[in-house]
Structure 1
């Protein structure tokens, strides 16, 4: 067994570990309420590993997304004086790192749902810890597969009861009272105990009126660097905003030699992630630009100042594509509190909070319905329920999955729409039970429309093109930004352009295409092809069959004209 270092005073969570472990030992589960930065993810798993009564050899830690899994793995391994992949490993949809000595494994929420579906007995797993459950609910912008981990927690509790297992279940929350999760983990019996830890250091919040634009964020960052000491963490709504604000800062004169500038995008490589997590070099301080994913607690060191742009991305409904599409909206009080807390992890800090002037209306793209007025897209969750054997999704724990969700009528409508779509896709039968095709679809971990598109395309000998088309649909729906210009009339034309770029044909003949995002689409499509085992080449003539593939994903559209066209290639920022 690896020797875990003794507790450090910089982990406020240490004060409640005895009562927390007593609750786990006596009740088989617990909910831990503690503020961001208190050491929940970093300290609790390693301390729990030392307990002689742990009923298993391994601990799984479920986090909202792959970036959080990689970041926590790196921080925990560093604290143990090891390299990642020894005692501490991680597993995400895109990659993994573990070895024969690995005992604590961090998983993205989507990966845990796959594991509990495939191996519900959780053999030799002593505990499953759900980190930041506030960030794991359906509708949360900082979760790769919203609702996956909460549903996985319900499945784990059911499996433990059915198989007489002993795996401990611990949910760790930041802002909720924990009552709903305590009842969920308690199952048919009494709710599990809720253990509460004290807050961290105080943070002074300074409000700044701003219109929500990139220039306002850049000005606030420059102001913070000039007037305050310590590292700066700026929260921006998405990767596009990070690139734009970084360009504004560079155009304004860049930074002095004392500033370590780290743009931390959602798909950041190991270099930027390691630089953000590690302490700043002597004589330097950090400036980190991050998205709302960082709210989940990436453990970014040496931060005393937070600049909160006041915006976030939350699921809207893209009617044209029938997929969830994030829209930029005000972040809200809870998100503001979480972001501000990042400034008070190690000492008293400061948060510059950007808010619109009184009475200023909030803009929303006209092609998207307001998130609060439409039912959420529940197709992915309902398909997972069918794979688990739940044929009536109305019996699912929606009060936990959607704590601030739609009305009962809107929820019933959303469930009806999801079940109808799954039946049309061939994923479920008339009785709601999953079909063999549905079992293949659910294993891809994609929206059912995209899963049907890829599998159906592979059956037609068009698997490569189907992956490219699915990646294009997902990129536009997921980012809300343009890939090309208005000269691209439809998805068939855009697919041909992407194929030209991938194969090196007609280089430079598509000046309207955003090459950074085009290559991201191609890389995602290639990753799917490798993971699924699709080796069919993509020929340019195959692009003429794009409509045939789209019909597989959109059987609910009556006329061909209802199928999604290419994106409006003016980005949201230009509208």
Structure 2
């Protein structure tokens, strides 16, 4: 048996774990760390015959690692070596090494925080930084510090930056192991390709089959691209000696094994894989890698509360991992389907999932652990506060958390199910309605990819999928259905049903909408127009194509994106209004809406029953709250300005006089400028609005009296003295004062009526001179002045010449100060 590179550092690793509680092992791909390290630690004295738990990021890798180690020991899986993955366990009473997926570790820790009987927890391929891996490490670390000083933690990875991890583990020793990799020749595209990805991939596969020897490992973003490429290759008839083998996480076990086993002598294999084949798994016989440079990752948007799968470029570290797969057996070749310029632009490493994931499952797990603030634990990356707060708010809405973050009894049941909190809540709510079996099927189906991917967009109806699932269980075949996936969904749903004691009963696909409403209360949607909806969260949504659901009055969106102003709905089911009333009876908001209707010029009062942003019921409100009526009127006045009121001449004059006094600081006078009055409507106008509902009623208000009430008793007494409405001029006429310009009140008077007056009239107790507009007999201004004496001395004689020529019949004396003032053409004798 050939020696693996990891074997040279195993003594150093053993010594590190004898003297330290934690260690970090960095070993290049192909070094053998996944299979050799657990076996090497089995006989360590500090283990005391306890178990080794090794975490793998994926179910496929966990099963493969357990089978390979069992073969090395000459045993069957389930003896010394076993595995636990979701809905599949193979362990026995003598099992010492359990290869598990990360969610399983979380369940084990929640059940037994001390992990009794476990000597070490190994986190393999930790560089992938999945959400469960970060959570598992945080919980294991706290268990180690508080409950189990003897528990060991080992972090293993090929590409991770070891120093930050070692620092998190209190300066844990770092062991480095070089892999055994042969040189790999790397080819790039000469220019960026504008054609479809599948066309470029198929062309590269044909080229590699002609130019290179050995089997091919082709990296594609997801299952959909794998199926399209496989279909195109099948149409090319490459020959019996070339086997096309898909490889992705949800593939049936037999198909996964077929992809991983060596090809027959004289045959070649083309393995079409997702990023699942980057690490841990060894695909036998591969000497050529074709890398699309893309991967599909979930992205959560705190803005919308939605997660969508997004295709993104791989990181430089992932690209190197993929290329390294071609150099395991000997010199290899890697075809990178991007340019060298694009290579230099790749991010160094992938973003940890905790920064971009839906944190509702994490928040629930922490609450079950007894932690309300993530900062109580040690993390490589603390969960983002905005996304974490949004996750807690959702859990409170689902009844899983109290407002203070503590776990409710319902939350304990939700956490125990191991489903996403939304889906677990849905299942538990369905049981009393005798819809538990349907809810279990929905929960598992929504956790997987679409069984009708070919209908995506054209048919978003969840009920269609449920019907297909039931027919598939009865053996009915359809070309557009993934029946392997249907069988797995049915089997997993039965497992959930058994754990809850649910028996299969009458199934009603029509109830899907009600159940989805339990899971997605923020995605209940009301039709705005054909195909367009308003979500209860307040966001818009649209069905991309016209279909039966387009005219549903209400529906619940189970899957949608967060692009643009309106999210596209991919999966949904209709729901009846009476079901919403039943499901959300305690959370519906009864509100009185009293609004100003500008078109009608009146207040409209309605009673509404609301679920978030959508209105379920609405009717006129017979006896609205008087305070709400007044507030609606005030809102209308603010929107349409004070002109909505009926301003008499005296009211406007009073306003202008007080504005002048406020401006001239002649005492503490109220501010009656329009903007100030609009700001203070509640103070001066609101008490007079009770009993009014329309513009017509507002028109009957006596604004003069209302504005006078803003003045104190002393101010009312002083008003005529300080800001008189009229000034008596020498002719005896009472001339109105114009206060429309607060900075300069004006008196417009015929020049002849001012003969004999030496000084400019003043107001505000003599402090403010009036601006005189001296008028001709035709009432046209001939002079504007604030200094009447200066006018008589300097300007009058020039004005006189002009006026005497135009108005010869009028009286134009040589000495205006000695002349008799008159409001006629000439003074009376």
Name the TM-score class by shorter chain. 0.7 to 0.9
For 1:401 and 1:371, how far apart are their aligned partners in 2?
Answer: 11
Indicate the SS of the match to 1:266. coil
* CA apart distance, 1:108: 0.7
Counterpart contact for 2:138–2:379, Cα < 8 Å? no
For 1:495 and 1:275, how far apart are their aligned partners in 2?
Answer: 30
Please, which of 325, 328, 333 is the counterpart of residue 308 of structure 2? 325
* CA apart distance, 1:217: 1.3
Aligned residue number for residue 11 of structure 1 = 4
Aligned residue number for residue 14 of structure 2 = 21
Aligned residue number for residue 171 of structure 1 = 155
Indicate the SS of the match to 1:564. strand
Greater relative contact order (CA < 8 Å, ≥ 6 in sequence): 1
Note closer, same or farther for the CA distance 1:469–1:570 as it changes in structure 2 (3 Å cut).
closer
1:388 aligns with 2:388: no
1:448 aligns with 2:441: no
The aligned length equals 526
Counterpart contact for 2:363–2:391, Cα < 8 Å? yes
Correspondences of 1:351-370 after superposition (within 5 Å): 351-355=334-338
1:263 aligns with 2:231: no
Aligned residue number for residue 550 of structure 1 = 516
Aligned residue number for residue 406 of structure 1 = none
Query: What TM-score does the superposition give when structure 1 sets the normalisation length?
Result: 0.83
Aligned residue number for residue 438 of structure 2 = 465
Indicate the SS of the match to 1:122. coil
* CA apart distance, 1:501: 5.0
Aligned residue number for residue 539 of structure 1 = 507
* CA apart distance, 1:52: 3.4
Aligned residue number for residue 284 of structure 1 = 267
Q: Deviations over 1:399-450 (max 9, x none)?
A: 3477xxxxxxxx2211110111111111111111111211111222222111
For 1:489 and 1:168, how far apart are their aligned partners in 2?
Answer: 49
Correspondences of 1:108-507 after superposition (within 5 Å): 108-135=101-128, 137=129, 146-184=130-168, 186=169, 190-201=170-181, 202-208=183-189, 210=193, 211=195, 213-257=197-241, 259-317=242-300, 323-355=306-338, 376-400=357-381, 411-475=384-448, 478=449, 482=453, 484=455, 488=459, 490-492=461-463, 494-496=465-467, 498-499=469-470, 502=473
* Structure having the larger proportion of residues in strand: 2
Counterpart contact for 1:485–1:513, Cα < 8 Å? no
Counterpart contact for 1:491–1:566, Cα < 8 Å? no
Indicate the SS of the match to 1:355. coil
Counterpart contact for 1:132–1:172, Cα < 8 Å? yes
Counterpart contact for 1:427–1:439, Cα < 8 Å? yes
Note closer, same or farther for the CA distance 1:564–1:371 as it changes in structure 2 (3 Å cut).
farther
Indicate the SS of the match to 1:169. strand
Report which stretch shifted further, 510-519 or 521-530.
Answer: 510-519
Note closer, same or farther for the CA distance 1:234–1:171 as it changes in structure 2 (3 Å cut).
same
* CA apart distance, 1:44: 0.5
Note closer, same or farther for the CA distance 1:306–1:10 as it changes in structure 2 (3 Å cut).
farther
Counterpart contact for 1:61–1:105, Cα < 8 Å? yes
* CA apart distance, 1:559: 5.7
Note closer, same or farther for the CA distance 1:321–1:471 as it changes in structure 2 (3 Å cut).
farther
List alignment gaps of at least 5 residues for structure 1.
1-7, 138-145, 363-369, 403-410
List alignment gaps of at least 5 residues for structure 2.
346-350, 527-533, 536-555, 561-567, 572-829
1:66 aligns with 2:32: no
For 2:322 and 2:414, how far apart are their aligned partners in 1?
Answer: 37
| Greater C-alpha Rg | 2
For 2:78 and 2:266, how far apart are their aligned partners in 1?
Answer: 31
